[in-house]
Amino acid sequence: MPAPTFEELLARPGLAWMGQNTTHLPTPPAVVDAIESSVAAREFQLYAPPAGFERLRELIVADLGLVGSDAWLTDGAVGGLRQICAVLGSQASVLVTSDPGWPWPGRFVESVGTPVIALPIYEQPDHRLTAAQIAEVIEPGAIIYLIDPLNPLGSLYPREELEAIVEVARAADAWIIHDATYRHFAEGHTLVADLYPERTFTTYSFSKWLGLAGFRVGAVVAIPELIRMLTRLPSNPLGSSIVGQRAAIAGLSDPGAWLAELRSVNRRNLEAVERVVAETGFGHVVVSPSQANLLAIDVVDTGLHSEAVCDAILERDVFIRPGTYQSPLFGERFVKVSTSVPEAWADRFVAAWAELAAESAAR
Ligand SMILES: Cc1ncc(COP(=O)(O)O)c(C=O)c1O
């Protein structure tokens, strides 16, 4: 069965969205107020400041704790990734990343003729890139694209591994793109920019932790010199969503209670998914505990293709995604489940998984 389009999925009002790592908990009231005030004032008739509201840029830099850095607001983190790849892509020798990973930066640099090496990590003991693996393929002037925590497995790069990766990068004068889209879900996240500020771009998203995917707000954070290099010819010279930025300012102004609730629901849902997988013996979780709002379930022993598993779960009105979107090498073997969702949705996933396991055992 061909995968349903997002438009088809959006036309299903009862769907449990557990495939895009987006957050579906009730939005913090201050964020809703900021959106409503902005709409009531018809701010959407205006362009936002090209680099983003000053206040928001300060809040993002403070949230990361990257003193002395600058933030540039983009149309989602992906807008920033697109721009980094446009600016660095044609001068870079190669982009080194992981398989599984997130495919877009690789596609962006390939479009300007730069090759991509996606190193296999699915079967690595820690399910992430190692400095040794990167050292084997790196070339002078490479870009290393690190997703941390990793979508789609939920693995985290510990500080020591990042230090070793930076050493390899420094020796090759390589750039690092540190994609920190899922940072707010992790325990003890280290920023590469703290170790290698001179050549690191950190990309930041509001889609996951604050649940603002539809507004398209994100940022690139780096030392001012790198931000200037990036924005000489910006991709969004008329600014990014003004209403979205108001929402982001409200969310970042007082994130404590929201983050505590978000992490607690996410943790509970991760555990519920892990439990049903263990109890049914239908597949096994690849990385536990996941450090993101998602986890991957290996389904190779079920005898089913990952896409067939997702189709069967979708018939039960729960949307999860096959690994094929994020892994040419291993995608048939795993499915990905997103967990920053209402507990009732996670429970629907649990019921659907148990049913599929029973059905499959009866066959
Ligand atoms: C690793 C990674 N980077 C970037 C993005 C895009 O984030 P945004 O919605 O902020 O554009 C995603 C979205 O799924 C992602 O998984």
State both tokens at 119: 């190193």
Cβ 21 under 6 angstroms from ligand 1: yes
With a CB cutoff of 8 Å and minimum separation 6, the contacts of 361 are: none
Which DSSP helix (H) or strand (E) runs through 96? strand 95-99
What is the CA(15)–ligand 1 centre distance, in A?
21
Tell me the backbone φ, ψ of residue 294, rounded to 5 degrees: -165, 160
Cβ 77 under 6 angstroms from ligand 1: yes
Cβ 150 under 6 angstroms from ligand 1: no
What is the CA(106)–ligand 1 centre distance, in A?
13
Tell me the backbone φ, ψ of residue 337, rounded to 5 degrees: -125, 130
Ligand 1 pocket test: pick from 104, 181, 210, 321 the residue with the most ligand atoms within 8 Å of its Cβ. Answer: 181
Tokens 């000489």 label which residue?
Answer: 232
Q: How far apart are CA 346 and CA 344, in angstroms?
A: 5
Ligand 1 pocket test: pick from 23, 85, 151 the residue with the most ligand atoms within 8 Å of its Cβ. Answer: 151
- Global pTM reads 0.97
From first to last of its 363 residues, the chain has per-residue pLDDT tens of 678 899 999 999 999 999 999 999 999 999 999 999 999 999 999 999 999 999 999 999 999 999 999 999 999 999 999 999 999 998 999 999 999 999 999 999 999 999 999 999 999 999 999 999 999 999 999 999 999 999 999 999 999 999 999 999 999 999 999 999 999 999 999 999 999 999 999 999 999 999 999 999 999 999 999 999 999 999 999 999 999 999 999 999 999 999 999 999 999 999 999 999 999 999 999 999 999 999 999 999 999 999 999 999 999 999 999 999 999 999 999 999 999 999 999 999 999 999 999 999 998
Cβ 338 under 6 angstroms from ligand 1: no
- Could you tell me which of 112, 175, 154, 159 has the C-alpha nearest to residue 337? 154
